[in-house]
Structure 1
Amino acid sequence: MVPTATRLGAVLVIAAHPDDEVLGCGGTVAKLAASGTAVHLTFLADGVGARCETDASLSPVDHQALDQRRNSARRAANILGATSVSFDDLPDNRLDSIPLLEITQRIEALIAQHRPSMVLTHHAGDLNIDHQRVHQAVITSCRPQRGHPVQTILSFEVPSSTEWQPPGSGAVFAPNWFVDISATLEQKLAALDAYAEELRDWPHPRSRQGVEHLARWRGATVGCEAAEAFVLARNLD
């Protein structure tokens, strides 16, 4: 379920890396945008630094890869109809090396800028450390204080991270909020194609087929053609 545009203010998607937003909630972003809701996408980590051969500054080749990843994110955002897309420069797969306060403050600045009523972000139990830290910082940034704009917080699943966390090692992704994306699944897959360099061959979960199969399965569990699944962290109606 997604509230109608008349009831829903701006939506902020806070992701660790470019492509997480399409994998986790691309169909929902497209559905919200089509309803007239302003959807802002933001990425906290650069998404390529962990692939560098050293911990030093990015080389010219690395900068080229970074530009390519960000251009892919912009193309995907256009396909989905997002209102804006922004990039931070925190180190890829090293967010555990950054004080939580610093990450939280950056998210608080984004919330102050966009004043979203809904935030979509990572699940706490993901295997990827950046996903875990982003989730923790979002929850900290969205402490339920008087006057805070965020009324709804949803955690999405990211194939090849959420389901790779073994039982007992982290919080289980047990979805209790589903969005029917039957009408926007093709947009989600088209946006995923913008990240062609990040896709893997079937049967990898981050393959095009894997992403579609997951959407179809999530849809089948709630009686529609395709869906995206979320864990509701908080909702104030």
Structure 2
Amino acid sequence: MKVLCVAAHPDDEVLGAGGTLAKHVAEGDEVEVFLLSDGAMARFETETEAAAERRAERRAEAAAAGDILGVSDVTVLDYWGNQLDDVPLIDVVRDVESKIDAFRPDVIYTHHYGDLNVDHELVARAVRTAARPTVGSPVDRVLSFETLSATEWGMPSPDNAFQPTTFVDIDEYLERKMAAIDAYESEMRERPHPRSTEAIRNNATVWGDKSGLFAAEPFELLVERRR
């Protein structure tokens, strides 16, 4: 089976599905990560020397996290972080479609559509469009994940709440997820914050308790096609 994780920025893939991706790898699946932005330019107005250094650092972090999880490839595109709403959505859709055409994934993991972060919302929409269940599409399942400090901070509305329907047992892979998170040390925060290492670990065990597991990652099923 081929598995693709499409996320907006480096660290999103580990926060949302790191344990699940490691589990897929351990089970012999081919896994790739596709990031639309390095996220660095959200903090810079122009392409300065400092910005270029930060972009390189973020890409190196993404590669290191991918190595820890065991994924086959990590691709990072050049969109500016937190500014996907400045480009036509069709451009993002086409990039995701190109990745789908090249890799031919059976399963895609991506963002929740109700996240506070606008890039997350637009990536979710782009994936939903690019992976719509048409004749010839290889994608049979699309699942959205939560991203701590973006999903729970979304605008409160009944129609955009994260309501997981699928829970993946990551008890054996939680330490691998945490090791991958450590690759993003510059993006982590001290408690109290949802992106602290303690909160990330506790979140996995809370979702585990809610689903009869010791540690779990939650997903909302968006598409499932059984053939």
TM-score category by the smaller chain?
over 0.9
Superposition TM-score, scaled by structure 1 size: 0.94
- Residue in 2 that maps onto 1:44: 36
The CA RMSD over aligned residues, in Å, is 1.0
| Count of aligned positions | 226
In structure 2, C-alpha distance between the alignment counterparts of 1:91 and 1:231, rounded to whole Å: 27
1:224 Cα deviation after fit: 1.1
In structure 1, C-alpha distance between the alignment counterparts of 2:58 and 2:166, rounded to whole Å: 30
Q: Confirm or deny that 1:172 pairs with 2:161.
A: yes
1:169 Cα deviation after fit: 8.1
Q: Confirm or deny that 1:74 pairs with 2:63.
A: yes
SS at match of 2:172: coil
SS at match of 1:42: strand
Correspondence for 1:32 among 24, 37, 46: 24
In structure 2, C-alpha distance between the alignment counterparts of 1:170 and 1:27, rounded to whole Å: 28
* Superposition misfits of 4+ residues, deviation over 2 angstroms: none
In structure 2, C-alpha distance between the alignment counterparts of 1:106 and 1:170, rounded to whole Å: 27
* Contact kept in structure 2, 1:151 and 1:234, CA below 8 Å: yes
Which residues of 2 match residues 8-19 of structure 1 at below 5 A? 9-19=1-11
SS at match of 1:184: helix
- Residue in 1 that maps onto 2:107: 118
Note the alpha carbon deviations across 1:114-169, whole angstroms, 9 max, x for none: 00000000000000000000000001101211110000000000000000013228
* Contact kept in structure 2, 1:215 and 1:228, CA below 8 Å: yes
- Residue in 2 that maps onto 1:21: 13
In structure 1, C-alpha distance between the alignment counterparts of 2:93 and 2:156, rounded to whole Å: 28
Q: Confirm or deny that 1:236 pairs with 2:225.
A: yes
SS at match of 1:183: helix
- Residue in 2 that maps onto 1:207: 196
* Contact kept in structure 2, 1:121 and 1:155, CA below 8 Å: yes
Amino acid of the structure 1 residue aligned with 2:93:
T
In structure 1, C-alpha distance between the alignment counterparts of 2:132 and 2:145, rounded to whole Å: 19
In structure 2, C-alpha distance between the alignment counterparts of 1:22 and 1:144, rounded to whole Å: 26
- Residue in 2 that maps onto 1:195: 184
Amino acid of the structure 1 residue aligned with 2:176:
Q
Structure 2 alignment gaps of length 5 or more: none
Structure 1 alignment gaps of length 5 or more: 1-8
- Residue in 1 that maps onto 2:85: 96
1:102 Cα deviation after fit: 0.4
Farther-moved stretch of structure 1 (177-186 vs 40-49): 40-49
